[in-house]
Structure 1
């Protein structure tokens, strides 16, 4: 493996050419932070292409087998995803709905080439990095149409959503749970789509810190996720659940008012704090005693489509804990389940009418240094070009005093960018 660093005259153009070059491979992971900077992530653009080895879940002992795969391929990047339905391996749970997307519960690969692209420089690793630079620079940028052909449908119509909402709120009133995330699927069958053009449009409409174009074979994940599920840096674990959403304003004044209203909204605040408590509890399983703490609570983060309330919880990892154990102990992301977690997941499968699959799972990478960073798979389009199935979910939290009309509208708000992409023909 050879590493080569090069200076970039125009990193934006090089990045777009590199993405277009990468899309021709069967295995691709393109991650773009879109200029969002925090104290926890330091990647601007990461590209992994080609596969020298891969791991796919067979439905048994996925986390243990994934750890073995990582251990067998040290000192390299290993990008991939973990689907929500891995919950069935972790707890005594099941998923009763069919897997229409045809995606496995987990997939990771060891890339042939990796690129780290910054504002002025790129670092390329692979057998012949100089040849790769020449290939990328010779790539002609194409502005191809989305070519979306298909009819988008609701898996759960408005009436069904309100019925499920009422049933789940009844469980809250009975004391079975105190918060639950109800999600609905939008889908299309016998679809054709240009995935790269769709991703570019999505990233233009909704640039987020965990934007991702992921491809393996004919299966595509096009993500505009704003949420970090879990990261490991050295001996520190960090999770940043999102709970609390508000639209962007049409003017600067309206925007500030919407932010102020979100920051003071008792319902949104209580949702967030409940999930903070859940995540703290999840992290305790991996943490040195007494090290779990909420370092930042209820911070407002603004994105192109929405304002969000985000909290940050950290801990120090106890000795002897493997990387995949720390993920398993916190999986699936608490912001997408509810509390108590297991009870909420049982009710989710009972009242939702679609399989979540990759949605509500995690997408990211293990790094050569033994660290990792995973986003929550939300605001994400899934497309299987083999069977022509396209899908995305949106959801929101139900609490004791939640209003079904407001929550339904919030689901549509969260899906706004995805609706825009598919209608931009």
Structure 2
């Protein structure tokens, strides 16, 4: 079905930049970059998929059944995304908040051309219909000259808040009232920042965002006029053979330029009772979700509340694994765990209902997932956080940040944490023009 060739790349970092720039000629582009972040579960340093041969685009209604049929019938690599609002397919829920981005709820495509980079080895997989273009494309990428100049006609991006700080604090207080009543233990509450009648150069903006964050689950997605520029540090779910891996993030601390102070901030995070309780609650939720498809006794917590350091923040990450029966569809594994616990709360359905009532914007692709399925039914998906979303046709730019609200939450501190998480996106957008 696919022709494969391998090339040795002398300067992988330089080649990656050229490869992504070359990809901009296509209407469908997904770029996934680990930024060579050391991690236990990883197949490639970077992946590029371009040019749809077949595709599926749908709203939430029966979305997972349609995806399952598409994934099974295609029996090939497929790349795409799951928006948060697919919750309405898995549960009796709605999404009625405002949506200025208008991305489809689900989109996947079978690419004609795939590039898989690991260290200095580039593997190229083309569908047979275009395999005569492999060498030509490789030469074109290798000799691509100059940088793309950013679109200077866009001007300054003026960022607005969907809700004020006072409104945010009031809604956190409402969420705390739900927690004290026993409706929920924890919920992830998010707020949107946006710019109307604005434009950006998506590729330059992505490069800037990735440069200041260098996260392990970065993504650049282009589906016609819809763009995702993501500096995500979080994996949602991965399948390796029959092994399922989930790595939720809960717990955040700022970084410091002073080495001693920075080490202290990381140490304080590892011992913080509020942050640890947030993480443990979500670990319990993930264990429960994975158990729905796992072989009996196979759900194991490999790492609990381990602190990882990224350029912008320290994060507390846990790793939970399970084993599934080969007869279980990979799409069903995702369906029974979606949306991810780190972006919802516990109990999950109650938390999602309360989130819908208190948030002002439809989440859409934010807190959804981007990734791929392989021809042998493996998959890997990130969590869409620390991301800029852009509808080029509507000239609408958006980024959303949130945090876990628990009984120990302080509204002022939660708002401060949101601003820490928003820093990279704001810095990137405010530097434009």
Q: Same fold (TM over 0.5)?
A: yes
Structure 1 position 237 matched with structure 2 position 235: no
Contact 1:249 1:255 in 2 (8 A): yes
5 Å matches for 1:390-401?
390-401=397-408
Give the C-alpha shift of residue 58 in structure 1: 3.4
5 Å matches for 1:407-422?
407-422=414-429
What corresponds to 2:22 in structure 1? 21
Structure 1 position 382 matched with structure 2 position 389: yes
What corresponds to 2:95 in structure 1? 95
What corresponds to 1:11 in structure 2? 12
Contact 2:236 2:340 in 1 (8 A): yes
Give the one of 276, 290, 309 matched to 2:316.
309
What corresponds to 2:44 in structure 1? 43
Q: Distance in 1 between matches of 2:237 and 2:59?
A: 24
Give the one of 185, 194, 198 matched to 2:201.
194
SS of equivalent to 2:296 = coil
Give the C-alpha shift of residue 143 in structure 1: 4.8
Contact 2:151 2:201 in 1 (8 A): yes
Give the C-alpha shift of residue 319 in structure 1: 4.8
Structure 1 position 134 matched with structure 2 position 139: yes
Structure 1 position 327 matched with structure 2 position 328: no
Q: Distance in 1 between matches of 2:412 and 2:232?
A: 24
Contact 2:83 2:106 in 1 (8 A): yes
Give the C-alpha shift of residue 146 in structure 1: 5.8
Deviations 1:129-171 (A, max 9, x none): 1111011123223152364543210001101100100000001
Q: Distance in 1 between matches of 2:95 and 2:60?
A: 12
What corresponds to 1:162 in structure 2? 169
Q: Distance in 1 between matches of 2:333 and 2:233?
A: 22
Deviations 1:107-145 (A, max 9, x none): 011111100123222111221211110111232231523
Contact 2:21 2:148 in 1 (8 A): no
Structure 1 position 144 matched with structure 2 position 149: yes
Of 315-324 and 165-174, deviating more is 315-324
5 Å matches for 1:6-405?
6-74=7-75, 76-126=76-126, 127=131, 128-145=133-150, 147=152, 148-149=154-155, 150-405=157-412
Contact 2:230 2:385 in 1 (8 A): yes
Q: CA RMSD in A?
A: 1.1
Q: Distance in 2 between matches of 1:120 and 1:239?
A: 28
Q: TM-score normalised to the size of structure 2?
A: 0.96
Give the C-alpha shift of residue 295 in structure 1: 1.0
SS of equivalent to 1:122 = strand
- Provide runs of 4+ in structure 1 moved above 6 Å: none
SS of equivalent to 1:114 = strand
Give the C-alpha shift of residue 60 in structure 1: 1.8
Q: TM-score normalised to the size of structure 1?
A: 0.98
Q: Distance in 2 between matches of 1:261 and 1:192?
A: 40
Q: Distance in 2 between matches of 1:421 and 1:81?
A: 24
Q: Distance in 2 between matches of 1:236 and 1:146?
A: 45
Contact 1:146 1:195 in 2 (8 A): no
Deviations 1:10-53 (A, max 9, x none): 11111111110011210001111001122211210100111101
Q: Distance in 2 between matches of 1:102 and 1:240?
A: 29
SS of equivalent to 2:74 = coil
Of 147-156 and 264-273, deviating more is 147-156
SS of equivalent to 2:215 = coil
Q: Distance in 2 between matches of 1:96 and 1:353?
A: 9
For structure 2, the 5+ residue unaligned runs are none
Distance 1:146 1:252, change over 3 A: farther
Contact 1:17 1:141 in 2 (8 A): no
Distance 1:87 1:223, change over 3 A: same
For structure 1, the 5+ residue unaligned runs are none
Of 143-152 and 359-368, deviating more is 143-152
Q: Distance in 2 between matches of 1:115 and 1:320?
A: 30
Q: Distance in 1 between matches of 2:38 and 2:179?
A: 38
Q: Distance in 2 between matches of 1:326 and 1:403?
A: 35
Give the C-alpha shift of residue 96 in structure 1: 1.2
Q: Distance in 1 between matches of 2:146 and 2:110?
A: 27
Give the C-alpha shift of residue 179 in structure 1: 0.4
